[in-house]
Amino acid sequence: MEEIQTAQNAFAVALTIGLGVLAPSIGIGMIGKGAMDAIGRNPEAAGKIQGAMILSIAFAEAIAIYALVVALILKFV
């Protein structure tokens, strides 16, 4: 019985981190694509676009970090 719970816990951890980073990774890709398109259309604004892009990527990455924290809590608690 203990082995089944261990396997279920491992599956829950893997599912949590797997699904938890899926949306942020897609979002980061879309942010990068949008920024590159904008810089291509208006190269003079590259500095302002890059700053906003980095900030947006940091916020999207924070969601993935939350998923990692939840997965670690599930793993060790």
Q: What is the pLDDT of residues 2-60, one digit of tens each?
A: 888 889 999 999 999 999 999 999 999 999 999 999 999 999 999 999 999 999 999 99
Q: Is the dihedral of CA 33, 47, 52, 54 positive or negative?
A: positive
In this prediction the pTM is 0.81
User: Where in the chain are the domains?
Assistant: 12-76
Is the CATH code 1.10.3720.10 the one for domain 12-76?
no
Buried b vs exposed e over 21-53: b needs ≥16 C-beta within 10 Å?
Answer: beebeebbeebeeebeebbeeeeeeeeebeeeb
